[in-house]
Amino acid sequence: MDEPPGKKATIKDLLGNRCRYCEDVVMDEASASITHSYWSGFPFICHKSCKDEGVKLEAFDCQTIDADCNDCKHYERGVLAPETVSQLKRTDGRIVEVVHKPNVFIGGCCLKFNRTTVASPNKWSGYECFEHRRL
Residues in the site for Zn ion, rule: CB under 5 A? 19, 21-22, 47, 50
Residue 118 one-letter amino acid? V
Query: How far is Cα 39 from Cα 59, in angstroms, rounded to an integer?
Result: 9
Q: Which is nearer to Zn ion, 11 or 22 (CB)?
A: 22
Nearest to 17 by CA among 38, 5, 33: 33
Nearest residue to the partner Zn ion, using Cβ = 19
User: In degrees rounded to 5, what are phi and psi of residue 56?
Assistant: -65, -45
- Is 107:116 a contact under the CB 8 Å cutoff? yes
Q: How far is the CB of 36 from Zn ion (least distance, A)?
A: 15
CB of 100 to Zn ion, least distance (A): 39
Q: Between 38 and 127, whose beta carbon lies closer to Zn ion?
A: 38
Report the residue number, 28 or 92, with the smaller CB distance to Zn ion. Answer: 28
User: What amino acid is encoded at 55 in this protein?
Assistant: V
**Shortest Å, Cβ 48 to Zn ion:** 9
